[in-house]
Copies of this chain bind each other. A is one copy, B any other.
Amino acid sequence: MIKLTHAEENYLKAIYQLSEAGKKGVSTNDISAEMKTKPASVSDMLRKLGEKEVIEYRKYYGVHITEEGKKFALRTIRKQRLWEVFLVEKLRFAWDEVAEVADELEHVQSTILIQRLDEYLGFPKFDPHGDPIPDEYGDVRSRPRLPINEIDINGTGQIVAVKDSSAAFLRYLDKVGAYIGARIKVLEKVEFDGSIEILVDNKKTIFMSKDVAANILVMV
């Protein structure tokens, strides 16, 4: 049976998520940026992950995650997101405060711990950022969702997730009053810079840049 270290789990999760985002092979530099380590360290790690056959690694041509690798990555992601739910729902963490702690908790090794946590939380399907929680077999049920900037004028929907989970972005959303579950309607799209005005819960209007809008995901 393959065993992964904490560092290997972190890299593999990053590789999985980068490959989901981009579809094609993931580059050393992308991983380096995501992991905040130097490209040289990434090359080292890719060799090791290749040997463990959780990625397919061709020098100079980026990596692809294997089926086996996906299973490991999804297991880590499941743990991360369950712990995020725990921190928010049970320990009253804000959604911008969970990243660091969940990034440690996700490495605790215990199958029963995760099963029990899942049960204790009521088998949540989504984490505090709207991201789907894989089940124990690695199945992810993802909802169809669109960034706000791709919604037509007068189109309506419900905020279901954020693409960027950085503390800075999340705190900004808190400040302007955008949150998961909010019902929105697109009131105006400025041709010039793509900025957008939305109505939240039929009460409040929010102006946002195209950049912000692109990071808020809505179910129509």
Residues of A within 8 A of B (CB): 87, 90-93, 97, 100-101, 104-105, 107-110, 112-113, 116-117, 120
Q: Would you call A108 and B105 a contact (CB within 8 A)? A: yes
B110 with A91: CB separation less than 8 A = no
On chain B, the residues within 8 Å of A100 by CB distance are 110
Q: Is the CB of B108 within 8 A of A104?
A: yes
If over half of A's interface residues share one DSSP class (helix, strand or loop), that class is named, otherwise mixed; here it is helix
For the complex formed, measure the closest distance between the CB of A20 and the CB atoms of chain B, giving whole angstroms: 27
Bound CA–CA A107/B101 (angstroms) = 11
> Does B93 contact A101, Cβ atoms closer than 8 Å?
no
Chain B residues positioned under 8 Å from A108 (CB to CB): 101, 104-105
Do residues A91 and B117 form an inter-chain contact, with CB atoms below 8 A?
A: yes
What is the total number of copies of this protein in its complex? 2
Q: How far is the CB of A67 from chain B (nearest CB, A)?
A: 28
**With the chains together, A117 CA to B91 CA distance in Å?**
7
A115, closest chain B residue (CB): B91
Does B113 lie within 8 Å of A91, measured CB to CB?
yes
CA distance A107 to B108 in the complex (A): 10
Closest B residue to A105 by beta carbon equals B108
Q: Complex formed: what's the CA distance from A120 to B91 in Å?
A: 7
Q: Kindly list chain B residues whose C-beta atoms are within 8 Å of the C-beta of A91.
A: 113, 116-117, 120
Given contacts A93-B116, A101-B113, A105-B108, 17 further A-B contacts (CB under 8 A): A87-B113, A90-B120, A91-B113, A91-B116, A91-B117, A91-B120, A92-B116, A93-B112, A97-B112, A100-B110, A101-B108, A101-B110, A104-B107, A104-B108, A104-B109, A104-B110, A105-B105
| CB nearest neighbor in B for A100 | B110
Residues of B within 8 A of A101 (CB): 108, 110, 113
Cα distance A101–B110 when bound, in Å? 7
Chain B contacts for A87, CB-based, 8 A: 113
11 contacts across the A-B interface (CB closer than 8 A): A87-B113, A90-B120, A91-B113, A91-B117, A91-B120, A92-B116, A101-B108, A101-B110, A104-B107, A104-B108, A105-B105
Neighbouring B residues of A110 by C-beta, 8 Å:
100-101, 104
